[in-house]
Structure 1
Amino acid sequence: MTLQELLVGLEEAVDGGRHREWAVQCAHALGLGGIAVSLRWGAELVWFSDGVSARLEDAQFTLGQGPGVAAEFTDVPHQVPDLARDAAEEWPQFAAEARDLGVWAVFVWPVRSGAVRLGSLTGYRRTPGPLTPQQSADGLRVADALAGRLLAWRPGNESSTDGQGEAGTVDLHWAEVHQATGVLSCRLGVPLGEAMVRLRAQAFAEGRAVTETAREILRELPS
């Protein structure tokens, strides 16, 4: 299926529950292994095609580093065609995590409405190398289409959920993380920003995804 056919069929795929199939086909049409969308510079993962894409976003969220959480980038897409060469100094922990997942190249497009950036579309490859000009342009078309989908979504719609869900749907993948941050904020008497930093630090020290650490904190709450 061509990329144009996929974009035309986006709403039908979402309405029919074929989120994962659409996302996987879209990634392949772009010459990528997988794609994911995060809002607010990595603050919430809402769309992903496969487990590796989700774990890459988890790594960026836990570590607070990586191309997808950079506040600004001038080139669109922001290309990291060889993580071993291009990211080892700037994002050493993220580069190591990505390589452990078998990822060697990462590409980021802004998900935006006009001049307002809503988040980022991140794609990966298992081999190093840059995108072609056509792939770069096609990725921006996908990012724009997903921006429209995200703008159309509202909490409370039947298609939305709260918590980790199936790939491709608009889910609040890190809802538990935000809940655990609130718990730590109250427990430690610190602002939410500091509580988030401490949660990330605990997850990193334990060598776990921040979502796993958050669930453990929530399990400790009295029922």
Structure 2
Amino acid sequence: MSVRQLLAGLARAVDAEEHRVWALQCAHALGLEGVAVSLRWGAELVWFSDDTSARLEDAQFTLGQGPFSAPPYQVVDLSAGETERWPQFAAEAQALGVRAMFVWPVRAGGVRFGSLTGYRLTPGPLTAPQAADGLRVADALAGRLLTWRPDTGESAAHDGPGAAGAVDLHWVEVHQATGVLSCRLGVPLEEALVRLRARAFASGRHLTETARAILEELPP
């Protein structure tokens, strides 16, 4: 299926809550293995096609480094010297078998509010049409995400997909644990998040697992 056909079916896929299936098909149409969308410069993962995409975003968020910071961007070979500015992330990505990454801005006009990140298991650049199609996908997702709102009806018992069916708040527990640490340690939220990231990195656990452990320590 072509990118044009997939974009035409985006609203239908979201309404049917098949956005992860759509994202995987879209990744393959772009010549990639998977894609993910993060908002606020990597501070919230809202849409991903597969576990590897999610783990790449987790690594960028935990380490505070990676290609998400400068879209559009092509990392054509993660083993090359161009990744010297974020060596820890490059090592994490390579451990997942990832050899190339590509990032496009998710934006509204001139305002960027997120990133679309794709990965591939083999090194090498995208073709010019693939790079252009990636930008079209990012723009289409920007429009979809801007129409999303949390479901405020009686059925909204937990965080997750909103009324537009387009968003999963993957790092809710991270933000909650950051607030807990901020109160417990008497430090600003920014410092609490840094400490949470450091704890996750030192323990070798995912950021979400570390956050969940902190929340489980709270009294019922």
Q: Same fold (TM over 0.5)?
A: yes
- Alignment of 1:95 with 2:95, yes or no, is no
> How far off is 1:20 after superposition?
1.9
In 2 relative to 1, CA 55–19 (structure 1 residues): closer, same or farther, beyond 3 Å? same
Q: Which residue of 1 aligns with 2:36?
A: 36
Whole-Å separation in 1 of the counterparts to 2:161 and 2:202: 23
> How far off is 1:87 after superposition?
4.4
Q: Which residue of 2 aligns with 1:156?
A: 151
2:75 to 77, 80, 85: 80
Assess if the C-alpha contact under 8 Å between 1:162 and 1:173 holds in 2. Answer: no
> How far off is 1:156 after superposition?
2.4
Identical residues among aligned pairs (%): 74
Whole-Å separation in 1 of the counterparts to 2:149 and 2:184: 31
Deviation digits for residues 5-28 of structure 1, max 9, x if unmatched? 100000001111222221110000
- The residue type equivalent to 2:201 in the other structure is F
Q: Which residue of 2 aligns with 1:125?
A: 120
With the length of structure 2 as denominator, give the TM-score of the two structures.
0.93
SS at match of 1:21: helix
The residue correspondences of 1:1-223 to structure 2 (distance < 5 A) are 1-68=1-68, 70=69, 73=70, 77-156=72-151, 162=159, 169-223=166-220
Assess if the C-alpha contact under 8 Å between 1:163 and 1:171 holds in 2. Answer: yes
Whole-Å separation in 2 of the counterparts to 1:34 and 1:118: 21
- The residue type equivalent to 2:216 in the other structure is R
- The residue type equivalent to 1:119 in the other structure is G
> How far off is 1:44 after superposition?
0.2
Give the root-mean-square deviation of aligned CA atoms: 1.9
Indicate the larger mover: 39-48 or 88-97: 88-97
- The residue type equivalent to 2:176 in the other structure is Q
Aligned residues: 216
Greater than 3 Å deviation, 4+ residue runs: 157-161
Structure 2 unmatched runs, 5+: none
With the length of structure 1 as denominator, give the TM-score of the two structures.
0.92
Whole-Å separation in 2 of the counterparts to 1:126 and 1:177: 29
Assess if the C-alpha contact under 8 Å between 2:45 and 2:170 holds in 1. Answer: yes
- The residue type equivalent to 1:46 in the other structure is V
> How far off is 1:221 after superposition?
0.3
